[in-house]
Amino acid sequence: MEIIKIIDKQKLNDITFRFTMGNGGAAFDAPGQFARLYADGGKGSKLVPVAEFDSNRFIVILRVEDEVSECLAKCEPGTELGAELGLGCGFDIQSIPDGSTLAAEGAGIPTVLNLMRQLLIYGKDCKIVLGYSSKDNAFMLTPFKSLASNLEIITEDGSNGRKGHIDNAVRKADYVCACADGDIIRRLCDKTDAGQFICIDKIEENQNVITREQVMNM
């Protein structure tokens, strides 16, 4: 376990916070990795997706959905936390072809932002599909809008136009990378022949990126 220090905190919406950590970034080497943050007072730990990293700092997105995340969300800049860093294998950038579809819902959205940025460095432009519960709960849209040439947003309640989940916005794709709940990932796999996936509701069991074949065998 390492000790990391919060140096910045931003509230993205009522249940989502962006934390910048001032150290520990060197532990990450691929988009799609996670950090485990430990709440003070022995209240447990939470796996959180990493939205950005460099040789020093890293940024995580925390959604308040249980007692542990509620405790962590109360932390302010200057707070030190115990953490496990560099968890999961991350996405294999080299295997992702230009023109692939990147899709994410909820807590998976920071992971796809990190992936998109890395792919752009390699000259790979992808279609982006993002899913939110509602227009009011949308977060991190600004960097996607500034970097993505093909962006589609879908909400569960239809408040942003199209209603449904990210799999409803993907008809057929040669290659898909996605981070969402397992049932949505499985439906996406019916619409592609290849890809890399993170089942966000199963990351406590497996933080690694898995293939289409592994998803279909779950």
- Which residue from 32, 51, 44, 33 is spatially nearest to 72, judged by alpha carbons? 44
Question: Domain total for the chain?
Answer: 2
Q: State the burial class of residue 35 (Cβ atoms within 10 Å of its Cβ: 0-12, 13-18, 19+).
A: buried
What is the reported pLDDT for 5?
96
Residues 58 and 147 in one domain: no
Which amino acid belongs to residue 42?
G
What is the reported pLDDT for 208?
86
Residues 183 and 99 in one domain: yes
Which amino acid belongs to residue 84?
E
- Dist. CA 197–CA 115, nearest whole Å: 12
Q: Which of 29, 54, 87 is the last residue of a domain?
A: 87
pTM of this prediction?
A: 0.88
- Domain of 163 in residue numbering reads as 93-216
In order along its 218 residues, the chain shows pLDDT tens digits of 899 999 999 998 888 899 999 999 999 999 999 999 999 877 899 998 898 999 999 999 898 988 999 999 999 999 999 999 999 999 999 999 999 999 999 888 989 999 999 999 999 999 999 999 999 889 889 999 999 999 999 999 988 888 999 999 998 999 999 999 999 999 999 999 999 999 988 888 878 899 898 888 87
Q: Which of 18, 53, 87 is the last residue of a domain?
A: 87
- CATH (domain of 83): 2.40.30.10
8 Å CB contact between 100 and 176:
yes
What is the reported pLDDT for 72?
95
8 Å CB contact between 45 and 128:
no
What is the reported pLDDT for 97?
96
What is the reported pLDDT for 103?
96
What is the reported pLDDT for 137?
86
Q: Is 101 left (phi over 0), alpha (psi -120 to 50) or beta?
A: beta
- Which residue is listed with tokens 């982006």? 128
Residues 73 and 130 in one domain: no
8 Å CB contact between 215 and 181:
no
What is the reported pLDDT for 162?
85
- CATH (domain of 202): 3.40.50.80
Q: Which of 87, 116, 150 is the last residue of a domain?
A: 87
